[in-house]
Amino acid sequence: MAWQLRRDPLEGLRQMAREYGDIVRFYVLGQERTLLNHPDWINQVLVIKHNKFHKSELTRRVTARLLGQGLLISEGEFWRRQRRLAQPAFHRARLNDYAATMLEITEGHIRGWRNAETRNIGQEMTSLTLQIAVRTLFGTTLPEEARRVGQAMTFLMRYSLSRQRLPFRIPETWPTPRNLRANRELGFIDSLVYRIISERQEEGNSNHHDLLALLMSAMDEDGAQMTRQQLHDETMTLFLAGHETTAQMLTWTWYALSENPPVGARLQEELSGILGARPMEISDLPKLPYLEAVMKEVLRLYPPAYIMAREVIEPCEIGGYSLGPKSTIIFSQWVMHRDARYYDNPEEFRPERWLGGLADRLPPGAYFPFGGGPRRCIGEGFALEEAAIVIATLARRFRFRLVADRPVVPEPLVTLRPRHGIQMSIHACT
C-alpha cells in the first residue's frame, strides 16, 4: 500500500479509499498514518475537535526553513495572535483596494500576446500571480528580482519535498550541490525581504497601502507590533501560499475550459452579457453565477491544495478509532472531491452542478479546497477575487486550445501542478 502511494500518490489515495472505505490505517517507514475518507471525520478534525490536532510534522519539515514561524505552520497562542494581526489585511474593504492592481497587472501581462501563438500557460499564470503577489504585498514591481524570486521559490519547494520523499536524508549542512543551491536561494530571498522591510521602516508606512504596510501597522491589544523576524515570516508565508496556489487554479481553469468548449462558450456569453467590453469590478461578482460555478468546479476537480495532514496532540477518537499522540491523520481534497456519493459523475467537469444550490446540500467536509475551521485559508477571498478578475479579463479576449504534445497529467508536488506544464495556443476572440 505504502509502495503504491509512493509510486502514484493521487491514484494510491483513491485506491485506498475504494478498497478500504472511510477510514484506513497504514504505515510508512514504520510511522502510523490514518487516512480519512468521510466528510464527517474530516469535519471532526478540522472543526469540531480541531484543538486536539496540530499541523503535521511533515508540513512543518517541508516548509519551516522557508516560512519560519509564519501563519501556515505556527501553533497555539502565537498563531492566534498572528492571525488576529493579519486578518484586517484580508477584510472585504481591503480586497476592493487590491482589485484595481490585479486588473492593471493582468491587462499589462497579456498586452504582448499575439493571435495563434503558443505559450506555456502554467508559466504564464505563475508569472502573472507572482507579479500580483509582489505588488499587493510590497507595493513594488521588483522587475529585476521578481523572476529570480519565482525560480528560487520553485526550486526550494521541489528541494524540500524531494528531501521528504527520500528514505535516507542527507543532512542539510553537507555541502552537496543541491544543499548549496538551497542556501543560496534562501539567502537571496531572505535578504530581499529584509531589505524591503528595512527600507519601509526607514521611510515610514504612511504612503503605502499594501499588505506589508498593514502587517507593519497591525497592533495587538497590548500595543505590541510584529518584530522584523515575524514580518519576514508572515510576508514569506503570504507570498508562497498566495501566488503558487492561485497560479495552479488558473492554469487548470484554462485546461478545463479548453477541454469543454460549451462551458467556455457559456462563460463568455455570461461575461459579455453582464460586462460588455468594460473591465470587471469586484461588485460585478454576484451578477456572474456561472463564473463562480466554473471556479468552484475547477477547485473541485483540480484542488491546488490536494491533501492535508494533522498530528494528534491529545488522545481522541475519530470514526470509532482511538488516536494516540503523535499519530498522523491525512485527508485529501483530491479523493473527497471525486467521491460519487456526493458528486454525480464526479470525473466530469460540469460547473452547472453548482447552480442548483449544491454547495448548501453537501455535508461539511465533502468540499474543502480552502480547508476549514479556525485554520481555514486566510487568503480565500483574495484568491477568488484574483481568479475572477483574471478569468473575466482573459476569457473575453482569448480562447485557449491545448497543443497536444503530450498528455496533461496532474503532479502532486506541494501543490497540484500539470507535470510538464500545459502548452496552449491562444486565439483572439473576434
Cell numbers describing residue 93: 474593504
Range 218-237, binding ligand HEM (CB under 6 A): 237
CA angle 386, 331, 13 (to 5 degrees): 105
Closest among 304, 329, 361, 326 to 44, alpha carbons compared: 329
- The least distance separating ligand HEM from the CB of residue 240, rounded to whole angstroms, comes to 9
Which of these ranges, 146-154, 255-263, 269-277, 378-386, lies near ligand HEM under the rule CB under 6 A?
378-386
The reply on whether position 382 binds ligand HEM by CB under 6 A is yes
Sheet containing 308-312: give its strands across.
23-28, 31-36, 328-331, 308-312, 53-55
Which of these ranges, 91-99, 162-170, 179-187, 241-249, lies near ligand HEM under the rule CB under 6 A?
241-249
Query: Other CB atoms closer than 10 Å to residue 213's CB: what's the count?
Result: 19
Contact 390, 108 (CB under 8 A): no
Contact 157, 185 (CB under 8 A): no
- The least distance separating ligand HEM from the CB of residue 28, rounded to whole angstroms, comes to 19
- Residue whose C-beta lies closest to ligand HEM: 379
- The CA distance from 193 to 135, in Å, is 13
The reply on whether position 293 binds ligand HEM by CB under 6 A is no
Contact 263, 256 (CB under 8 A): yes
- The least distance separating ligand HEM from the CB of residue 83, rounded to whole angstroms, comes to 5
Per-position b or e across 351-376, b if 16+ CB within 10 A of its CB? bebbeeebeeeeebbbbbbbebbebe
- The least distance separating ligand HEM from the CB of residue 250, rounded to whole angstroms, comes to 9
The reply on whether position 23 binds ligand HEM by CB under 6 A is no
Range 121-180, binding ligand HEM (CB under 6 A): none
The reply on whether position 238 binds ligand HEM by CB under 6 A is yes
71 or 231, CB closer to ligand HEM? 71
Which of these ranges, 105-113, 179-187, 245-253, 334-342, lies near ligand HEM under the rule CB under 6 A?
245-253
- The CA distance from 390 to 105, in Å, is 9
Closest among 268, 317, 261 to 288, alpha carbons compared: 268
The reply on whether position 358 binds ligand HEM by CB under 6 A is no
Options 13, 128, 308, 424; binder of ligand HEM; rule CB under 6 A: 308
The reply on whether position 377 binds ligand HEM by CB under 6 A is yes
Cell numbers describing residue 109: 501581462
The reply on whether position 249 binds ligand HEM by CB under 6 A is yes
Options 369, 410, 412, 418; binder of ligand HEM; rule CB under 6 A: 369
Range 45-84, binding ligand HEM (CB under 6 A): 55, 71-72, 83
Contact 362, 69 (CB under 8 A): no
Range 80-109, binding ligand HEM (CB under 6 A): 83
The reply on whether position 418 binds ligand HEM by CB under 6 A is no
Options 66, 153, 263, 305; binder of ligand HEM; rule CB under 6 A: 305
- The CA distance from 69 to 90, in Å, is 20
- The least distance separating ligand HEM from the CB of residue 383, rounded to whole angstroms, comes to 4
Cell numbers describing residue 415: 501543490
The reply on whether position 378 binds ligand HEM by CB under 6 A is yes
Cell numbers describing residue 144: 529585476
- The least distance separating ligand HEM from the CB of residue 237, rounded to whole angstroms, comes to 5
The reply on whether position 254 binds ligand HEM by CB under 6 A is no
Distances (CA, A) of 375 to 47, 293, 359: 9, 24, 20
The residues of the shown chain that bind ligand HEM, judged by CB under 6 A, are: 55, 71-72, 83, 237-238, 241-242, 245-246, 249, 304-305, 308, 369-371, 375, 377-379, 382-383
